[in-house]
Amino acid sequence: MKIHQTLIDFILKEWLAVASGTGLLLTSIYVKHFPDYSAQEIQVLFILFFLFIVVNGLQQSGLILQVARKIERGKMIPLKLVMTTFFISMIVTNDVSLIVMVPLTLSLTVNRKDVIVILEALAANAGSALSPIGNPQNLFIYWYYKIEPLTFIQTIAPFTIFFFLLLTGISLFLRTKKSVAINNGKIKISGKAYIYLALLFFVLLTVLRVLPIEAGVAVLIYALVFDRKALSIDYALLLVFFFFFGLTDNLKFILSSQISNSGHIFLFSALASQFMSNVPAALTFAKFTPNWEALLWGVNAGGFGSLFGSLANLIAYKIYVSHSGEKNISTFLLKFLIFGYAAFILSIGFYFLYGNGF
C-alpha cells in the first residue's frame, strides 16, 4: 500500500514527465522508430543542466535572497520584474531569463507571486521574439531564410511592441503587498556567490556561442569539487525536456506528410505549436513555405497558450511548482492557461489586423 501511494504521489507531482514520456513511447511505436536527437537538442540539455546548477548555487549563497529583499523594498515590484524579464530575454534567450527571474521572484515575501511568474513567462516569450537570438525558433528562421537583421526586427517589432504595452499596463495595475514583514537584518552572502556569478556569465557566453558548449563543464567541475549541494537540482525537468524533444521529433515526422498549404502558415504554425512546441513547428513548416514573415509571427504567437507552446513555459511552470512551500498548483495551472490563451488569441487577432499582408 505504501509503494502504491508513493507511486501515485510521484505521478501527481511529476505528471509532466510521465505524460511526455508516455507520449514519446506511444508516438515511437506509431512511427516505428526511436526519435533522432539533434546535436543542438543535446546542447540545450547540457546548457540547462549547467544553468540549473549555477542558479541553485546562487540561491544557496544568499545572493538571490538579498536582491529580492532590495526589490521588494521599492515600488512597482511587478513592473520591475516583468520588464527585466522582457528585456534580458532579447539577449540571453527566453529560457535563460526565466531560469534566473522565476527563482528570484519566488524569493520575495509579497503575495500574487503566481500572477507575476505568469506575466514573466509571457514577457519572456514576447521580448525574445524581437531578437534573432532571443529564442531557438527565431535563430533557426534567421539562418534558414538568410534574413537581414534589420529586416527581421522590423517584421516582428509590432508583435513585441503590442505585448510590451499590454504587459506594462497589466504590471502597473497589479497590486501586491508584503505577505510577511521584511527582515531588516543583514543577509549573509557566501563568497561562493561571486564565483557563481562568474560561472553564470561563463554559461551565458556559451548560450551566445562566444564559447563552445564544452566550456560549461567548468560549472560541473566546480560543483563536484567545492559545492555538491548545488547539484541538487530538478532533474525531472531535464527529463521532461529529453522526452519532449523526442516527442516533438515524432510529431514532426507524423505531420510532415500532411502539411502542404503555405497560405495558412501563420495559423497552422501557431496552432501546431500548442502541442509540438514552437521550435519544431518552425523546423517543420519552414520546409513548406518561403513566407518566413508569417512563420515568424506564427511560431512566436504559438509560444503563448499551452505549457507546450514554448519550452520557456515549461521552465516557468516547473520551477514554480517545485518551489518549496508553493501550493494550489491546479489553480496556478488554470491561471497560467487563462493568461496564456488570452495572449494567444490576442496575438492571432493582432496578426490578422496588422500582419496579414505578409
Question: Cα–Cα distances in Å, from 95 out to 52, 122, 128, 350?
Answer: 11, 12, 9, 25
Residues 6+ apart with CB under 8 A from 22: none
**For 139-184, what is each residue's pLDDT tens digit?**
788 877 888 889 999 999 999 999 999 999 999 998 877 765 555 5
Average pLDDT estimate for 95-107: 85
Name the pLDDT band for 236 (thresholds 50, 70, 90): confident
pLDDT at 179: 63
Distance between CA 291 and CA 40 in Å, rounded?
24
Average pLDDT estimate for 124-142: 87
User: What predicted TM-score, i.e. pTM, was given to this entire model?
Assistant: 0.76
Quick one: CA torsion of 250, 256, 261, 267, rounded to 10 degrees? Answer: 10
Is pLDDT at 293 greater than 70 in this prediction? yes
Quick one: CA torsion of 233, 236, 237, 239, rounded to 10 degrees? Answer: 120
- For residue 336, the tally of other CB atoms under 10 A from its CB is 23
Q: What are phi and psi of 333, to 5 degrees?
A: -60, -40
Helices 136-144 and 292-301 sit at what angle, rounded to 10 degrees? 170
**For 39-88, what is each residue's pLDDT tens digit?**
777 887 888 788 888 878 887 887 776 776 777 677 888 999 999 899 98
**For 312-341, what is each residue's pLDDT tens digit?**
898 899 888 887 555 678 888 899 999 999
Average pLDDT estimate for 191-218: 83
Tell me if 329 sits within 8 A of 356, measured CB to CB: no
Q: What are phi and psi of 178, to 5 degrees?
A: -70, 125
Give, for 229, the enclosing helix (H) or strand (E). none
Average pLDDT estimate for 189-202: 85
Of 257 and 197, the structure prediction assigns the larger pLDDT to 197
Alpha helices, H only, the chain? 2-13, 15-31, 39-61, 63-72, 77-92, 94-106, 113-128, 136-144, 149-173, 192-207, 217-226, 235-255, 265-276, 278-285, 292-301, 311-322, 329-350
pLDDT at 42: 81
Distance between CA 55 and CA 39 in Å, rounded?
24
DSSP string covering 250-268: HHHHHHTTT---GGGHHHH
User: For 10-14, 24-28, 91-95, which range has the lowest pLDDT when averaged over its residues?
Assistant: 10-14
Distance between CA 306 and CA 16 in Å, rounded?
13
pLDDT at 335: 92
Distance between CA 271 and CA 289 in Å, rounded?
16
Distance between CA 9 and CA 231 in Å, rounded?
23
**For 346-358, what is each residue's pLDDT tens digit?**
999 999 887 665 6
Average pLDDT estimate for 224-229: 89
